[in-house]
A and B are shown apart, each in its own frame.
Chain A
Amino acid sequence: MMAPSYNAKEEDGHQPGATGHGGAGTMTNKKPDNTAFKQQRLPAWQPILTAGTVLPAFFVIGLIFIPIGVGLFVTSNNIKEFEIDYTGVDMSSPCYNCSQSYSWNNTQSCTCSVHFSLDQPFESNVFMYYGLSNFYQNHRRYVKSRDDSQLNGDKTSLQSPSKECEPYRSSDKPIAPCGAIANSLFNDTLELYYIDPNGSRTAIPLVKKGIAWWTDKHVKFRNPSGNNNLTVVFQGTSKPVNWRKPVFELDPLDSDNNGFINEDFIVWMRTAALPTFRKLYCIIQKKPNNMTPTLPRGEYILEVTYNYPVRSFDGRKRMILSTISWMGGKNPFLGIAYITVGSVCFCLGLVLLSIHYRYGKRNNSAEISS
């Protein structure tokens, strides 16, 4: 018995006997219109959920979800990911010394090298992330502390940033970019070297462009217009308190990557959802017409210019290398969840089947007990 069925008996009925309505105003007839809508007889589908009717749904869900889950799981497993913590909490850690002397305004930069090895080669494009833990980029007041119109190149906002930026609104001159988010910009520099089996270091080219969203780079973030010389544009503003360089000198190598449209800056400004997060640092593009993997198996050195203090709040800094697939980064959870839900549904389907045989018959045989 399939419960959802159109009720044939409830079809719209304009009764032949219903005289009067429409009889143009000879007498005021208050008789209500006998229409399906007004008499609440609209044809309706009545889904009644019983074991019998929901059975197929469970099996169908099970049968769809399990393959999807397997697919997701396999995809996720094919993604290669490498992660290394370079915070320098342990005495043994190479960055221990750097982490001890933290200060935003340290002119002396501290560098440390972290050795690691990749067990598997990384093919195709490899994405390099920096990861922060226990860093609440989603704190309400932190999130608010920015001025979107300033970042969009609005000149008045450049000169008088939004109040939300307080206390990073102005030092003596208005700060550009203002606010706590910009002020806390991640300023470690990461460099990656491959150590050939023969011992020589090869710098791996890190592409710093193309890491921000297209809409952010081209629509949301814009340098104030009027002059191609950013130094002139940003005249009359001061750099954020914690910054070492003004905003128009963020990328000394690429003049198009400066000012508000600096991609590292843009990436940072997209505040992370959770206190443990990663942000794209650069892309290691696969080698053209070469069969060797982007990152072959072997020893590597991560050269860190250690600037960013996290130890004060028990934060952690990580470097992550990862390939990605159509479903993004490595995440086995979704695949497992799909498989689990799919199998639970399938099992429930079986349970319902037995219930349907026990009770469904009774209902069908119209034995109604009060």
Chain B
Amino acid sequence: MYSLERPVRGQSSSPKDRLGRKRRTVVSSLTEDEELTEILKSYSSNKVTTTKYSFLSFIPKNLFEQLHRVANIYFIFLAALNFVPVVNAFQPEISIIPILLVLTVTAVKDLWEDYRRHKSDKFINGLFCEIYSRKQQTYVDQRWQDVHVGDFVRLSCNEIIPADMLLLYSSDPHGVCYIETANLDGETNLKQRQVVRDLPQQGSELTPENFHSRIECESPNNDLSRFRGYMEYPSKARVGLHNDNLLLRSCTIRNTETVIGIVVYAGHETKAMKNNSGPRYKRSKLERRLNVDVLWSVVLLVIMCLTAAIGHGLWLRNLKEASFLIPDTTSPALSGFYLFWTMIIVLQVLIPISLYVSIEIVKLCQIFFIQNDVDFYNEYMDSRIQCRALNITEDLGQIQYVFSDKTGTLTENKMVFRRCTIAGVEYPHEENARRLEVYEEDEAMGCSHTLKSRASAKSLSCKSLSCNRSSVSLHTLTGHSEGEEPPSPTLPQQSAFSSPLEKDIVPDPFLVQKLNSLSSPLFLLKDASMELTYIVDFFMALAICNTVVVSSPNQPRHVQVPEVSCTPLKSLEDIKMLFQRFGLPRFSTLSPPHTTESPRSFTRRLFSRGKAHGSWKGEENKMLHLTLGACSGLGNSNGAQGPPGEPGADELIYEAESPDEAALVHAARAYRCTLQGRSLESLLVELPGMGSLAVRLLHILPFDSTRKRMSVVVRHPLTNQVVVYTKGADSVIMDLAESPKGAEQSDGRQGHIREQTQKHLDNYAREGLRTLCVAKKVQTSTEYEIWLKRHAFAETSIENREELLLESAQRLETNLTLLGATGIVDRLQEEVPETIEALQRAGVKVWVLTGDKQETAINIACACKLLRSTDQLLTANCGSKVSVILLFKIICPSSKCVPRGEAAEGTSGFTLVVDGRTLDFALQEDLKGDFLELSRRCRAVVCCRSTPLQKSHVVKLVRDQLRVMTLAIGDGANDVSMIQVADVGIGISGQEGMQAVMSSDFAISRFKHLRKLLLVHGHWCYTRLANMILYFFYKNVMYVNLLFWYQFFCGFSGSVMTNSWVLIFFNLLFTSAPPLLYGILDKDVSADTLIKLPELYKSGQNSKAYLPSTFWLTMLDALYQSLVCFFIPYFANAGSDADMLTFGSPINASALLTILLHQVIESCTLTWLHVLVLVGSALFYFSFTLVFSVVCVTCSPPTNPLGVDKLQMSQPLFYGVCALTTVLALLPRFLFHALRNSISPSDTLKAALMDQLNPENYCRRMQRWNQTQAQSKARGLVINVEDLDFKIPDFILPKEL
């Protein structure tokens, strides 16, 4: 906790002492005080170095880091072992080649990455900004890296802030400045920052020389939303500093001409840099599997070495004086022991040394391809997919559970006002609904030739596909489908909230009539109704109860400064009159009609009615009159339907922190209740029939998730009363709108409204709308005074500010009068149902975790085909633990009759809907087993009303208990924990900032991209990597065994029949490139087919490509091949005069050919790149050995290759042996593939076969496939339904037991 203890200067405070504490002192860098200058110097400068290494430290530091890896240590150990004379196998320098090569490749990779960071650092450090210089008495251009704490920096509009600084001056008369934090969190809306309060020089431009205040603030931290401290003026007066005063590094100044600030944090101590954590490292499932097999390799290695060691010991013991033995006193046992280590060096290749490096390289390339996929490009946002985690690409191919957020993930998070209820009367906005539908159709029309088809069942049928298969391929079209309008080059960001869909709301005619009565000349006060007050208040609240920033596009990012002198519709006379009448007795419904009264005064009285409610019944009649009367005036004024008002009003752009706010402001505008401008202290609102009014803004109590509401406190322009407008979640507002006990009279009225509104709210939720309630409260001036005092205290307090402000807000938001509620529609993103269906066909279970209401959640789940009409819905809303237990006890045994296999397949027709409270119980230790059992039997699970914490708990539970691969996808801050917990976290870069993206492994822009990401890239990455790893193991075992077999013929002495360079390079150079390419480019099935046949994804889920059995089968094959490769040359040379290297030459060559051709058999595609690399590898080997055998005269003892290979390659026998060996070695695998593919082909293979057909046949085949799939699914379903019929009738538990 930040302490406020006052530091006494001169006592206790050496600079170090101060640094040690959790705070920092900042003064102007122009200070003369030596000690303070010292302190300032102790803070880090603004120079950023994100590089890990410097020029000098690179080699030692990089080495040090690399040596931390276990694999590297192993190889260094081996290299070191080779220097021990009794055990060395090769020349010492040869055995350090592998480790050197691996270290070098890694170092080069690190160096390249570091160089890129260095370049970007240099660019950033070299940017210019204006710093005050004492010498020149003015601001001079300096590089960013020369900015220090305590410097005064002047910035102009659109400049980027170089360091965290305290705002001291703004050219804005109100001392306000706007910043855009897009660089920081991706939010493009403007945020308001304020000059430090009570600055002496306020108004005039700040003169740094005169700045003698001292700033005490927190030590650097990474909390972007919190900043605390105080400034002490020379007069010892203190003022608190808050986040509002801080300009953050890398944000952009907008709408403000000049800004001056003093730097408090610089360089790496800025909040932006503190938040900058590099890429994430996770360990993938495949890698864990791989590590197991590496251990097996170690076991194998030890066994082989032990065999050799024992063999050598026995052989030595049986040998008496032999002329070829070097006289030695070592006992056979000891020799055996030495030999063990020699063999470990000789056979070290068995542990795939370059595998880890290769995997890293392959994954980088896979990521390159994912990032370059044109299908993931979102033209509208000009963004591609971002891969933030570099090493879990193959996990994408093994996902079994997908946990999805709803808002912004499944839906657009583009909120559109759909309907509302005011004062208990529902306005259905039929026109608006129709418009939304038309719009959707328009959009669908625009891309009807894509896969997008509303009927998802048919969408995958061949008919819709045939066209794009033959003519246009998939990727060309999907890019257009989300384009609501082409991105305008000048305003790419502003368009975020201003698509016509959100702006042009068609008002409800009935409501318009009512509102029109305000401005219509026919308006009579007697028609004035209680309801109208509500309506006007309602829209007033919609227009002003928000933090929307208004700007216009021709002056980008310039706030419309409210002009109070804006031409009102009524003359000044009217206004005067209005204020004169202010003193009139309160309006009462019983009072005689004042026909002479101007509409304006009527309005005033409307607003003044606060809590004086009349009888509802009486007014209804009057309302009818009003409707009839206003009918004539409706035609012309309503015809335009667009936002009315002055010209230019159309060009207003609203930028809101949340899309809901923007939607509501647009809605209000449709009813001519237009928010025209906003400043710190006032709002400019145009009301129908009243023109522009300046509303004095007293307070904004911003939204927070504990209160779930926000309020504005304004001085009403007409009544001059203090009015509180609150909007928030229905549950909260409904509770707060409880009338006080005293006001029985109004209770009936309010009660009625509440009752009606609740009914409507329920309806909205069922329709899948997001609901918000709007309420108001009129404060008497005394009440307000009291509250104001305490609020001011809270605002100025330095300690506990947040808590006090919260408390203060809660004190104000009581006794609210419910005005009405809105229903906002959040449209589904395109292709969401198709994507979900594809995922389910792929065997992925989709769970939706949302904070929304149950009805809304179910509705959305239906809309996106997560729920089918045939599904049985299990709804669990339990209030107590007992009921949860009961629920599980009832459901679980009964559903056990569903065969396990089928349930696991997800074909059962259950869908579980759980609410937050039930979830809480279900997640408890004793119940989670039952919960999982139940949910596993369900096809889909929807968790509604769940908190972020619950979301992550659910993911964690499923991940840990079921041991499955999980993927979480979300877009908002509330999904962050879930994204982090899941094996793969995906962020959607959408409307709600970048927090989800920042914590994710992959960031996409649309939900539909998930389909290709998983089904195509996931599948590819997984199969490629799995195959590559298997191949690496195969290759090593195959080659190393050749050396092992030789031991049986050389007295287990650790001899090798190959030149040691060739031996070392065999794995590192001659055979390493093809598997890399294989891992990067191999493609078993085409992308088109993978998308159309999601079932193919299952092979990855079940880890089919890399099962333990596959591993051992590959090992066996490697064993066989090595036997062939060794013994055919052996028998061909037995008893002859062949020397060791002559004997090894055909073995090596045939092993190389076998290994390369094995690759060809295993790979599914061969492109010119493959051919190039394969042929290149072979040529490289042969030319290397050939050149080596000519050039190397005395080198590389004792395996000097001079003349060997030259001679060998000139002899026909060499080729005869190689051909026979290669053919015989590959025969079984070749045959096995052919037989398996013919007799029982896998799905993947069938699909690959399909790929080779011509489009027509392809289409026919595809259709048939989908039919058989559907049939098998239907069969499964029928069985389940029969089971269900007598076991569980439609099962919905009562809310409370």
User: A261-282 interface mask toward B, CB cutoff 8 Å, 1 = contact, 0 = none?
Assistant: 0000000001111111111100
**B1269: CB under 8 A from chain A?**
yes
Q: Which of A30, A34, A334 contacts B1216 (CB 8 A)?
A: A334
- Stretch of B141-149, B497-505, B704-712, B1051-1059 that contacts chain A: B1051-1059
CB distance from B431 to the nearest CB of A (A): 35
CB distance from A1 to the nearest CB of B (A): 8
**B1114: CB under 8 A from chain A?**
no
In the complex, chain B residues 1255-1294 whose Cβ is within 8 Å of any chain A Cβ:
1255, 1257, 1260-1261, 1264-1265, 1268-1269, 1272
In the complex, chain A residues 1-39 whose Cβ is within 8 Å of any chain B Cβ:
3, 5, 7, 9-10, 13, 15, 17-18, 26-34, 38-39
**A115: CB under 8 A from chain B?**
no
Give Cα distance in the complex from A352 to B1257, angstroms: 26
- Which B residues are CB-close (under 8 A) to A33? 372, 374
CB distance from B123 to the nearest CB of A (A): 15
CB distance from A85 to the nearest CB of B (A): 13
Provided the pairs A38-B369, A213-B1207, A276-B1135 are in contact, do residues A139 and B1197 lie with their beta carbons within 8 angstroms?
Answer: no
Provided the pairs A140-B1050, A329-B1136, A334-B1220 are in contact, do residues A146 and B1198 lie with their beta carbons within 8 angstroms?
Answer: yes
Closest to B381 in A: A30
Give Cα distance in the complex from A264 to B819, angstroms: 114
Closest to A149 in B: B1194
- Which A residues are CB-close (under 8 A) to B1134? 274, 276, 331, 333
Q: Is the CB of A29 within 8 A of B382?
A: yes
Q: Is the CB of A30 within 8 A of B1200?
A: no
- Which B residues are CB-close (under 8 A) to A145? 326, 1198
Task: Pull 19 A–B residue pairs with CB atoms less than 8 Å apart, ordered by A.
Answer: A3-B1249, A32-B372, A38-B374, A39-B373, A39-B475, A40-B1020, A45-B1165, A50-B1238, A50-B1241, A61-B1223, A72-B1216, A139-B1055, A140-B1053, A144-B1198, A215-B1206, A277-B1136, A338-B1216, A341-B1224, A368-B1246
CB distance from B558 to the nearest CB of A (A): 22
CB distance from A219 to the nearest CB of B (A): 6
List residues of B whose CB falls within 8 A of some A CB: 89, 319-327, 342, 369, 371-374, 377, 379, 382-384, 469-470, 473, 475-476, 479-480, 489, 492, 1020, 1049-1051, 1053-1055, 1057, 1081, 1083, 1086-1087, 1095, 1128, 1130-1140, 1142-1144, 1160-1161, 1163-1169, 1193-1194, 1197-1200, 1202-1203, 1206-1207, 1211-1213, 1216-1217, 1220, 1223-1224, 1227, 1230-1231, 1233-1235, 1237-1239, 1241, 1243, 1245-1246, 1248-1249, 1251-1252, 1255, 1257, 1260-1261, 1264-1265, 1268-1269, 1272
List residues of A whose CB falls within 8 A of some B CB: 3, 5, 7, 9-10, 13, 15, 17-18, 26-34, 38-40, 42-54, 57, 61, 65, 68, 72, 104, 129, 131, 135-149, 151-152, 154, 162, 164, 167-168, 180, 184, 213-216, 219-220, 242, 270-280, 308-310, 312-313, 315, 326-329, 331, 333-334, 337-338, 341, 344-345, 348, 352, 355-356, 359-360, 363, 366-370
Q: Is the CB of A337 within 8 A of B1220?
A: yes
- Which B residues are CB-close (under 8 A) to A53? 1234
Give Cα distance in the complex from A273 to B480, angstroms: 69
- Which B residues are CB-close (under 8 A) to A220? 1193-1194, 1200, 1202-1203
CB distance from B1136 to the nearest CB of A (A): 6
Give Cα distance in the complex from A40 to B372, angstroms: 10
- Which A residues are CB-close (under 8 A) to B1133? 273-274
Most chain A beta carbons < 10 A, residue from B1140, B1163, B1166: B1140
- Which B residues are CB-close (under 8 A) to A5? 1252
Give Cα distance in the complex from A31 to B377, angstroms: 6
Q: Is the CB of B1234 within 8 A of A40?
A: no
Give Cα distance in the complex from A39 to B369, angstroms: 7
Closest to B1163 in A: A47
Closest to A131 in B: B1135
Most chain A beta carbons < 10 A, residue from B325, B1168, B1269: B325
Q: Which of A15, A49, A141 contacts B326 (CB 8 A)?
A: A141
Q: Is the CB of A44 within 8 A of B1166?
A: yes
Closest to B1017 in A: A40
Q: Is the CB of A148 within 8 A of B382?
A: no
Q: Is the CB of A50 within 8 A of B1237?
A: yes
Provided the pairs A40-B1087, A216-B1202, A333-B1132 are in contact, do residues A368 and B1265 lie with their beta carbons within 8 angstroms?
Answer: yes
Closest to A336 in B: B1131
Give Cα distance in the complex from A313 to B325, angstroms: 10
Q: Is the CB of A40 within 8 A of B1202?
A: no
Closest to A278 in B: B1137
- Which A residues are CB-close (under 8 A) to B1095? 370
CB distance from A259 to the nearest CB of B (A): 17
Most chain A beta carbons < 10 A, residue from B327, B383, B1136: B1136
Q: Is the CB of B1161 within 8 A of A32?
A: no
Q: Is the CB of A331 within 8 A of B1136?
A: yes
Give Cα distance in the complex from A355 to B489, angstroms: 63
Q: Is the CB of B1269 within 8 A of A54?
A: no
Give Cα distance in the complex from A270 to B1261, angstroms: 64
CB distance from B736 to the nearest CB of A (A): 46
Most chain B beta carbons < 10 A, residue from A138, A140, A147: A140
Q: Which of A47, A68, A370 contacts B1243 (CB 8 A)?
A: A370
Closest to A61 in B: B1223
Q: Is the CB of A3 within 8 A of B1252?
A: yes
Give Cα distance in the complex from A274 to B1047, angstroms: 10
CB distance from A183 to the nearest CB of B (A): 8
Give Cα distance in the complex from A43 to B1216, angstroms: 34
Most chain A beta carbons < 10 A, residue from B492, B1238, B1260: B1238
- Which A residues are CB-close (under 8 A) to B382? 27-31
Give Cα distance in the complex from A151 to B382, angstroms: 71
The 4 closest A-B CB pairs, nearest first, are A215-B1203, A273-B1143, A313-B322, A44-B1165
- Which A residues are CB-close (under 8 A) to B1243? 370
CB distance from B318 to the nearest CB of A (A): 9
Q: Is the CB of B473 within 8 A of A13?
A: yes
Give Cα distance in the complex from A42 to B1077, angstroms: 13
Q: Is the CB of B384 within 8 A of A48?
A: no
Q: Is the CB of A370 within 8 A of B1135?
A: no
- Which B residues are CB-close (under 8 A) to A49? 1161, 1230, 1233-1234, 1237
Closest to B1245 in A: A48
- Which A residues are CB-close (under 8 A) to B1216? 68, 72, 327, 334, 338
Give Cα distance in the complex from A127 to B383, angstroms: 78
- Which B residues are CB-close (under 8 A) to A148? 1194, 1197-1198, 1200
CB distance from B14 to the nearest CB of A (A): 50
- Which A residues are CB-close (under 8 A) to B476? 13, 15, 17-18, 34
Give Cα distance in the complex from A184 to B327, angstroms: 12
Q: Is the CB of B1213 within 8 A of A309?
A: no
Q: Which of A18, A271, A309 contacts B323 (CB 8 A)?
A: A309
Q: Which of A136, A215, A276, A279 contacts B1051 (CB 8 A)?
A: A136
- Which B residues are CB-close (under 8 A) to A162? 1197
CB distance from A342 to the nearest CB of B (A): 9
Given A30-B377, A273-B1138: 19 more A-B contacts, CB < 8 Å: A32-B371, A33-B372, A47-B1164, A48-B1248, A51-B1237, A54-B1230, A61-B1223, A142-B325, A144-B1197, A167-B326, A213-B1203, A216-B1202, A216-B1203, A220-B1194, A277-B1138, A334-B1213, A348-B1231, A355-B1238, A363-B1238
- Which B residues are CB-close (under 8 A) to A273? 1049, 1057, 1133, 1138-1140, 1142-1144
Q: Is the CB of B1237 within 8 A of A138?
A: no
Give Cα distance in the complex from A54 to B1231, angstroms: 8
Q: Is the CB of B1137 within 8 A of A46?
A: no
- Which B residues are CB-close (under 8 A) to A216? 1202-1203
Give Cα distance in the complex from A220 to B321, angstroms: 31
Q: Is the CB of B1206 within 8 A of A140?
A: no
Give Cα distance in the complex from A328 to B1213, angstroms: 8
Q: Is the CB of A44 within 8 A of B1234?
A: no
Give Cα distance in the complex from A154 to B1227, angstroms: 50
